[in-house]
Structure 1
Amino acid sequence: MSNRRVVFVVGSGRSGTSTMSGTLQTLGMNVPQPEVMADSTNPKGFGEPQWVVDLHQELLARSGVQVSDARPRAWLEAGKLSADHAVRERVSEWLESQFAEGGDELVIKDPRAAWFMGLWRASADRCDATSSFVTMLRPVTEVIGSKKKYYDQRTGDVTRTAAWVNMMLHTERATRGEARRFVRYGDLLADWTQPVFALGEAFDLTAVKTAMANDIAQVHKFIDPSLRRVTLTWDDVEVPASLRDLAEETWQTLDGLADEGGDTESAHQHSDQLRVAYDEMYADAEAFAHSTALAARREGATAARRELESAPSKVSSTRGADRVPHSVRALVPEGARRSLRKALNRQRGRDA
């Protein structure tokens, strides 16, 4: 039996995934190099392999999925690439090289990985490695508050809350039946030894089980409870009551999975019910917003048409469409773009 192990640290961003990855690395597991550089949003470091982050960004762009995507169908779009043979071959080759260079126990951490867990699981199997999953848990209000503080301010509370529900419920479903553990960020900060050494036993991680006193001392220095700098409650988050209630129930259900013996069939069924409820809520929201989406499309088409009409008619080296900002062109239906191109070509023919 192979001694190869790969631990995937998953969960929403700002939930303590970096702290968990850094802890396992300090105890002797290998985070593939080079890593994403630390910055002011994560001064202790991200514990993320740069190659993995670059891969996920590429795959998300190809599938049209955002890092924090609230759409239930986004999982289907990302899943198409997870099943792509060429992508699996590429990931398997990289993973094999990391085992050859860094030893038998790897840590792969990136919040984007949740979209591609099937890809990573299949690639680990190809490398004859045992996969296990650590899902980090932090109250949704704290996650939202932390993202508001450190990330793009254009994303509102409603979108962030919905994306968290979508991400966490599907992460639970995607790891079900696998070797997995749920760890509360608060528990990791309060006394990291209990959840981490429990992981070592559950996943049979030699580096964790045989950690030396110096390694343990270094983890005590690494984990800084003061880094939990955001502690919002629902009083601080502006979302509709129905979404708030669903998100809170989702949190309570996931939080229970972290209890000893809490990962039960009953909890799985409740999670499935919540996922169905969220899908229905999102479908209702899309139906309500349909007119707004159509209006945005019309506005985009009008803006593109005006841009084309205002452009000089005799331009030999640059197409009119190329002068329209991409963000505007993306809003124009393909049929409308074709019509505009034909009209522009006819005008060029008359001017020639």
Structure 2
Amino acid sequence: MTVPPAAGDHPRSLLVVGGSGRSGTSLFAGLAYRLGYHIPQPELKANDTNPRGFGEPRWAIAFHKDLLRSVDVTHDDGRPQAWVDVARVNDRKAAHDKLTGWLSEQFDLSARVVVKDPRLAWFVGLYAGAAKELSADFGVVTMLRHPAETVRSKELAYGGRIESTTRMAGWLNMMLHVEEQTRGMARAVVRYDDLLTRWRPTLAAVEQALAINLVSGRDDEELAATDALVDPQLRRTELSWDGLILPEPLRELAERSFDALEAIAVSVDGAANQAPEVELDELRVSYADLYGDAEAMVRSSLNAARAKERRRVTKESRNQQRKARVARREAPTRQPAAPAGADAPVTRSARRVADGLRARTSRLLSRRT
């Protein structure tokens, strides 16, 4: 592994890796790490779903989760409105200051930092602002894997409790909007297939797109050590729509969107990339329309679910109030503590005993008289 350049030795560079989960983001972050970029520690540990490691800083994961939770957005949210909600977060000074402070600490350790998390794509603008304040060069890598293969990979890794339609909607919403959000930034869309089968020329193309150093200047030993990270055998899903139960309009829109995004991906062969922004804009609008139609169709179900949830919350609140009232009634009544030096309060039974003793004493005295 190439040792990350020490702080102050080189201009600062912040590289963020986004895109849909299960699309090669971990592999790219791992390659960047082995080629000299610092992954903030501690990071998420490897597991069976990602045996080579995630490359995700735990601080960033928690930070992104908190921000998304504050506006009721999930990391794979399929609602176009979710981007409007998250925009409010990106404008928060507190969030900007917190991120800038954390990144500043990382730049104290290394001049080159890479941050990767599937949730990060929601906050690309926030990271761009922090990089600017810290006088760091900023680049965005968006990994692109075919949507059918991505959804299959998620189902294999996380199970089938979430329907394929929901996952596909999340992929479309994420990929089409992050493309729009990163226009005008130094960015590189990277095909998963290219990274897995020919990572060296792929990273060389990323270098040109972002004006950063990844493979340039690396010796054969460094590159050979990095080769070990790339294992095509870890590709466990096939590129096929067969078996995925999806509405045809959604499947067709996902296929068209993938083709349009692929057209702006970095070219390993040196061919000029097209920039079909008009087409991508139309696809994004088409998705929003499709989602709006689906939402309108199930409005009754949504209203019924909300009403059911309100009843549940109301019932739970009333039960808690009832339990509190019962607890107050059943709580034992405590006598107030006696002042220091005063006699302890006499209980009712003690008074009965004392009264009985006085009565017997009176009878005995009367007999003696």
TM over 0.5: yes
Could you tell me which of 151, 157, 169 is aligned with 2:158?
151
Partners of 1:88 and 1:15 lie apart in 2 by 28
Matched, 1:270 2:279: yes
Structure number with bigger Rg:
2
* Deviation of the 1:207 alpha carbon: 4.9
CA change 1:59–1:304 in 2 (3 A) is closer
TM-score w.r.t. the length of structure 2 is 0.81
State the Cα distance separating 1:139 from its structure 2 match: 0.4
Q: Aligned-pair distance for 1:7?
A: 1.1
Are residues 1:88 and 2:96 paired? yes
1:256 corresponds to: 263
Residue 222 (structure 1) aligned to one of 223, 229, 236: 229
State the SS of the aligned residue for 1:22. Answer: helix
> CA-to-partner distance for each residue in 1:78-118, whole Å, 9 max, x for gaps?
111111011101111111111111x2111111110110111
Match of 2:180 in 1: 173
Q: 2:309 aligns with which of 300, 310, 334?
A: 300
- Taking the aligned partners of 1:256 and 1:118, their CA distance within structure 2 comes to 23
Q: Any residues of structure 2 matched to 1:44-83 within 5 Å, and which?
A: 44-83=52-91
Distance 1:25 1:116 in 2: 22
Deviations 1:287-346 (A, max 9, x none): 111100111123234444555666784624889xxxxxxxxxxxxxxxxxxxxxxxxxxx
The SS at the match of 1:107 is strand
Distance 1:236 1:318, change over 3 A: farther
| Segment drifting more, 81-90 vs 304-313 | 304-313
Q: Which residue does 2:202 correspond to in 1?
A: 195
Which residue of structure 1 lines up, in the alignment, with residue 37 of structure 2?
Answer: 29
8 A contact 2:200–2:215 mirrored in 1: no
Distance 1:312 1:16, change over 3 A: closer
CA RMSD of aligned residues (A): 1.9
Work out the CA distance in 2 between the residues paired with 1:309 and 1:126: 51
| 1:289 partnered with 2:290 | no
**Residues 45 and 311 of structure 1: CA distance in aligned 2, closer, same or farther (over 3 Å):** closer
Task: Give the deviation of 1:150 after TM superposition.
Answer: 0.9
Report if aligned partners of 1:24, 1:208 keep a CA contact under 8 Å in 2.
no
Matched, 1:208 2:219: no
Q: 1:182 aligns to what SS in structure 2?
A: strand
What's the CA shift for 1:201?
3.5
Percent identity reads: 39
- The amino acid that maps onto 1:70 is G
Partner of 1:329: none
Higher helix share: 1
1:284 match: secondary structure:
helix
- Residue 363 of structure 2 corresponds to none
Q: Which moved more, 1:155-164 or 1:145-154?
A: 145-154
* Amino acid in the other structure paired with 1:278: Y
Distance in structure 2 (CA, Å) of the matches to 1:49 and 1:245: 36
Find the residue that maps to 1:181 and give its secondary structure.
strand
Count of residues paired in the alignment: 315
Distance 1:62 1:312 in 2: 28
Q: Which consecutive unaligned segments of at least 5 residues does structure 1 have?
A: 320-352
How far did residue 218 of structure 1 move?
A: 1.3
Map 1:98-113 → 2, pairs under 5 A: 98-101=106-109, 103-113=110-120
Residues 28, 208 of structure 1: 8 Å contact kept: no
Q: Say whether the 8 Å CA contact 1:201–1:209 is kept in structure 2.
A: no
Distance 1:318 1:109 in 2: 50
Query: Is residue 204–residue 216 contact of structure 2 (8 Å, CA) maintained in 1?
Result: yes
Specify the code of the residue in structure 1 equivalent to 2:228.
K
Q: Deviations over 1:205-261 (max 9, x none)?
A: 345322222220111111100111111411221111111111110011111112442
- CA–CA separation in structure 2 for the residues paired with 1:106 and 1:204: 15
**Aligned with 2:153: secondary structure?**
helix
- SS of structure 2 residue aligned to 1:42: coil
TM-score by length of 1: 0.85
Closer/same/farther in 2, CA of residues 296 and 130 from structure 1, 3 Å limit: same
SS in 2 for 1:94: helix
**Mapped partners of 2:137, 2:317: distance in 1:** 57
